[in-house]
Structure 1
Amino acid sequence: MPLWYYDKKDLKSTPSIHDGVDAETEQRYRREGCRFILDLGFRLGLRSETMGTGAVFFHRFYMFHSFKQYPRYAMATCCLFLSGKVEETPKKIRDIMKTARLILEGARERYIPTLGDEKGDLILQYERILLPTVKFDFCIASPYSFLKQYAKTIVGDKEQIRQMFQMAWTFVNDSYCTTLCLQWEPEIIAIAVLYLACKLSKFEITDWTTKKENSKQKWWEQFVEGLTKDIIEDICHQHLDLYSKSNLSSPGNGTVGNPSIMLTPTQTNSTVTSPIQPISIESPSTSRSMPSAKRVS
């Protein structure tokens, strides 16, 4: 089984960067490609897990190939097409192409030709490149399942927990616009977004179903042994950086760049209300790595 987790220094030495794309531009391309996957998947009525798998394929692909060689919107379309089959929620290539072209109409219509013809021949060609690049590894867990599992263990006011869980769910959506899925396992990302949602909603987890009497254990330690607060807060800072780069004024209110997308676990368009105030999160003193996070060979 391939190991898909990279150190931060590896993310600064990608094929795109070696091909002359600066780091900031590459990050923007990744954000735009993943937003496109989320928008396309939402319009096609796909599940959150399918969109998340497509985004993971997208991020992994560009650890081996350059954005200069493979246009982001075409590859994003290809990744969602593949993830639909992997997650057993397939969509016809013609329907995907029609919707993808519709999304790019207007300000981004200059990118429509990069998608190829309406039949999707180019996307099918790209799929033959994508498959070996992701090493035919289709066992992709998402933070969504872990988030649901963790939230069920929390003891407290049900309405507060519901609102906090809904906010954490939107944070998972937005996390795919970052490279966090290349750095950390999905269970760790789920813990981090839950931690961030608790900070924003001012909800402190003090009791949970498996808590032992007089235990000094942190709530997340029941799920991932050895996970430190430094690592969690580093992930939170990376996540919050996304909003400042994307001109999104309100973290927790939907997928970055398009607040109508995937706002809740049931894909409704209701808005999460949250206090937009400075968040007290300590800056990590050092860059830390979990023992299980290794480079892909």
Structure 2
Amino acid sequence: MASAHASMNGSSILDDNVPLSDPWITRKSRRPPPPSVVTGHLTSRQELRTRRNTVTFILQLGEALCLPRQTVSTSIIFFHRFFSRQSFATHSRYDVSVACTFLASKVDETPRKVASVVLQSHMLLERINNSTSSVITSEAAPATLDLKSEEFLELKDRILILERVVLQTLSFDLTVSHAYKPFCDLMSLLKSKYTSGGFVTKGGENVGQQVLAQIGVGVMNDSYGGRVWLGLRGEEIAKCAVMAAVVVKEVEVKGGGSWLEVLDLEREVWEEFVEEFNEMAECGVEEEGEEGGGKEGNL
């Protein structure tokens, strides 16, 4: 295993052609507070919870539009980037998230008609307005919207205008590095090269690759709810997801060494991921004005 570690020095364990520099990636210690926090509109905890609640809306909108997971992930990253420069007090988070979804569908070449996006988002928002919680429930009955009505035309115009605002706020930089492909490549690489005979825990039990993959994918999916994507690149998040899976299952590195070495993962990056992930999990998906613990476990 020592030779495996040495062979990775100075290069990435993955070769996904992702640039090492990204103008949108800023480590948490050097990242300025979000505009909503700077202006005093929200506390940092409230701002983070607002992000999580809205990401839930984007996920459900993506499902209603039958969008691929990568397109939905792109829209979520656009949303996080937008509100790293704009305040929640200035723009409706729901309208912005709809515009981000519409834009992402075009960027990822999975386009949806603006009418479909407006109709589906309107039905989801009606469910929110008819519910006692900011989290969408399936029990609320969807409302219909006449395509010739003034309400529809106003909503359509608002989304199209906001799409331009999003583009301008993002400086027309729509490049996104996702974590799913690097994660799959990394799991395959570890299985074939660095864990011959399978993954084994400290107690000597075998752990299937599928079990680790399920944990890692769950961690990646949850990471979209917070500010993790403002501080780490997709490849780094993929490595952290694998790291989280082997830590949770207490998988040992065969031949000695550490998983940080095997994954070519900087300790600073891993610690930042854990800090951001736990901070997000502790906020939970709740009413913006409420305090309370999260519903998910920490790493």
Is 1:170 the counterpart of 2:204? The answer is no
Residue 282 of structure 2 contacts residue 296 of structure 2 at CA under 8 Å; is this kept in 1? Answer: no
The sequence identity of aligned pairs, in percent, is 27
Q: Deviations over 1:2-43 (max 9, x none)?
A: 611224356553222233222222112211222211111122
Q: Which has the greater radius of gyration?
A: 2
Equivalent runs, 1:20-35 vs 2, <5 Å: 20-21=40-41, 22-35=43-56
* Partner amino acid, structure 2, of 1:239: F
Residue 160 of structure 1 contacts residue 203 of structure 1 at CA under 8 Å; is this kept in 2? Answer: no
Residue from 100, 105, 112 that aligns with 2:126: 105
Equivalent runs, 1:85-234 vs 2, <5 Å: 85-109=106-130, 117-119=151-153, 120-155=156-191, 156=198, 160-200=208-248, 202-204=249-251, 206=253, 216=257, 218-221=258-261, 224=264, 227-234=265-272
- Deviation at residue 51 of structure 1 after TM alignment: 1.0
Q: Which runs of 5+ in 2 are unaligned?
A: 1-20, 135-141, 143-149, 192-197, 200-205, 285-292
Partners of 2:30 and 2:119 in 1: CA distance: 36
TM-score (normalised: structure 2): 0.71
- Deviation at residue 143 of structure 1 after TM alignment: 0.9
Residue 12 of structure 1 contacts residue 23 of structure 1 at CA under 8 Å; is this kept in 2? Answer: no
Report the 3-state secondary structure (helix = DSSP H, G, I; strand = E; otherwise coil) of the residue aligned with 2:84. Answer: coil
2:283 matched to which residue of 1? 245
- Deviation at residue 148 of structure 1 after TM alignment: 0.9
Residue 58 of structure 1 contacts residue 75 of structure 1 at CA under 8 Å; is this kept in 2? Answer: yes
Residue 31 of structure 1 contacts residue 177 of structure 1 at CA under 8 Å; is this kept in 2? Answer: yes
Question: CA RMSD of the aligned region, Å?
Answer: 2.8
TM-score (normalised: structure 1): 0.71
Equivalent runs, 1:262-281 vs 2, <5 Å: none
Q: Which runs of 5+ in 1 are unaligned?
A: 208-213, 252-278, 282-297
Partners of 2:114 and 2:260 in 1: CA distance: 41
- Deviation at residue 205 of structure 1 after TM alignment: 5.3
* Partner amino acid, structure 1, of 2:126: E
2:97 matched to which residue of 1? 76
Residue 15 of structure 1 contacts residue 66 of structure 1 at CA under 8 Å; is this kept in 2? Answer: yes
Report the 3-state secondary structure (helix = DSSP H, G, I; strand = E; otherwise coil) of the residue aligned with 1:90. Answer: coil
Partners of 1:144 and 1:195 in 2: CA distance: 14
Moved over 6 A (4+): none
